[in-house]
């Protein structure tokens, strides 16, 4: 998530990133799946921008709001 919030590319060995709703091969390089010879081109290529609001569900303020809706159980 840090890579997205800082608008950086991510090099990972985790192929499950392909299942993320905002996966884009211009932002992710997957070691073991992507061609290692393509790494320099990946690093130099421009990134596609994320869709508007894509990070909103992961934003800290949004997560805090989720806790505001939880009510404490009654004590008695």
DSSP 20-69: STT--TTTEEETTTS-GGGHHHHHHSPPPPPPTTTTGGGSHHHHHHHHHT
3-7, 27-31, 58-62, 65-69: which is most confident: 27-31
57-72 pLDDT, tens digit each? 666 565 566 666 665 5
- Map tokens 């990972």 to a residue: 12
| Residue 49 confidence (pLDDT) | 80
Q: What is the pTM of this model?
A: 0.68
pLDDT value at 36 more than 80: yes
Residue 65's pLDDT is 62
What is the structure's pLDDT at 6? 76
Residue boundaries of the structural domains of the chain = 2-68
pLDDT at 22 over 70: yes
Mean pLDDT, residues 50-58 taken together: 68
């Amino acid at each position: 998530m840090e890579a997205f919030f800082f608008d950086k590319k991510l090099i990972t060995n985790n192929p499950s990133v392909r299942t993320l709703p905002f996966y884009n091969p211009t932002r992710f390089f997957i070691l073991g799946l992507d061609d290692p010879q393509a790494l320099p081109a990946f690093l130099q290529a421009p990134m596609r921008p994320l869709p508007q609001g894509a990070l909103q569900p992961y934003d800290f303020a949004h997560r805090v709001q989720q806790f505001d809706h939880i009510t404490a159980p009654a004590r008695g």
